[in-house]
Chain A
Amino acid sequence: MNLKSIVLVEDNPQDEMLTLRSLEKAKLANEIVVLRDGQEALDYLLEPDRDLPTVVLLDLGLPKVSGLEVLTRLRKDPRTRLLPVTILTSSDEEEDRLRCYEGGANSFVRKPVEFAAFAETIARVGFYWAILNEAVQPRRSNP
């Protein structure tokens, strides 16, 4: 079985490194695609021929197009409408959380400052979406 990839949208290289290290430590075999701003994420994910990842780990504070905007755009496209999106953010603002769920996020995870907690969180998130979750394919309308 060809493992689907995991897409990480993160502009902070340090967080990216820590995230990749955590996923690696969790021994997930999925390919990790790292995208560094919102526009790049949209370009990548909305390309019609693209094999969709198993999950998108999306930061909120992104250059060019914000994470929330990326989420909204993904949910408008029928193809990515049901794509699992997990928000990974430093914010613990209630407001952010609310807007994300309203925007169709599948979950909202605060990045703990403490690395151990962070690593565990990332590992769990990756494990959940990569292994446990049974994805659904959006129905295609007949041509």
Chain B
Amino acid sequence: MNIYRYLAAALLGMAANVSIAQTPKGNVLIKNATVLTVTQGTLENTDVLVQDGTIKKIGTNLSAGKDMESIDASGMFLMPGIIDAHSHLALDVVNEATAPITAEVKMSDVINPFDVGIYRALAGGTTVAHGLHGSANAIGGESIVMKFRYGTSDPADIVMKEAPRTIKFALGENPTRVHGRGKNIQPRTRMGVEAVIRNGFNEALQYQKSWKEYNENKGKKNSTLTPPQFNLRLETLSDILNGELIIHCHSYRADEIYMLINVCKDFGVDKLVFTHVNEGFKVAPELAEYTMGASVFSDWWAYKFEVYYSTAYNAAILMANNVVTSINSDSDELIRHLYHEAGKTQRYGGLTDDQALSLITINPAKQLGIDEFVGSIEEGKQADLVLFNTHPLSVYAVPQMTFVDGVKYFDIKNDDDDQRLKVSPSELVEPVYLHAEHERCMHGVELFMEEGQLFNHAF
């Protein structure tokens, strides 16, 4: 993977966005904490000074600026804000399950900043989440990286503007069931999924060519070329071919993982992350060599046939093979305690503290292309921080305060019973969906299916 090209793209992306309104940035001094930097070891009795949303200084005996809140964190543990590489939280719609490729849809269009799940995630130390399209389609929509700036009514405020574009792909049972069995169209098999993706890329190449030709001749004297049709789906696919998007691919089996690696190789696409990846341990060297990593569950499997061959050692094996590995939630509930999920890798695989913490901080940041901004406690990085009562990998760990850009959005001492941002003027009791969090990945799909009962499983 060409990191420099990618960094350049990220920087260019930033430059294009300077005109966008400012989100809140805070100033705070956290004193005498045990600082788990993740990338630069653990620092005892250390102060972290945050100015204008950025970590200004890490050291001892730092003093707070004027009017700056100073927090005595003696006996407490400070870690980087937790990053979830796979979530469907705070999205009004998850699946546009009507076509095998829907690369034209954008999750940024359906962000719901009023979702109380944002606050719950903050209460579990999660500050950044990757909001993905569901797994109904071989190629789903463009995803969105969100910073949980709770309290805003403007969806644009919780978008992490520095993050590069990402897109959801999905292999295996979900797309074949929805489209093949559900609607009798391609893909009906794993071979069909590959064909759908290859056809999509090939169409995008032709599309690029026709527009290039048109644009080069536009305005030239005597040109008889007329504008080609505009196709947002192929626009996005050709942007993938141009390296402007990172693919995050829902996958379980080793054969299909290797299949997509080959497809991407054939089309010169190198920004690729696999998510779920339950059989990733079988192709760990290939994942290490060719991809930006794997985002796995800690110990969740057997909820459908393609997810039986699994192990809780997956993360540890991948890490041992130098795969950039993260642990994700794919759930509005698990997102509230990803530190427990990371801790399981110490029981299954004996990862060190820093390795385990990297699964939910710097590694997902790398997979989302935002590791220069977040994912560790380093001077110059954005001040997304969580203060724990004890070491976050302890089963007794409880987040005490959560900061995004130096602004405190959660404080356990200041935690109201009712943190909803929006209340219905006429519903006396708002409906609560007990199982909603377990069906996010296929959320909304049953609406389109006659055999709806087939979809009562997770992910």
Are A and B genuine complex partners?
no
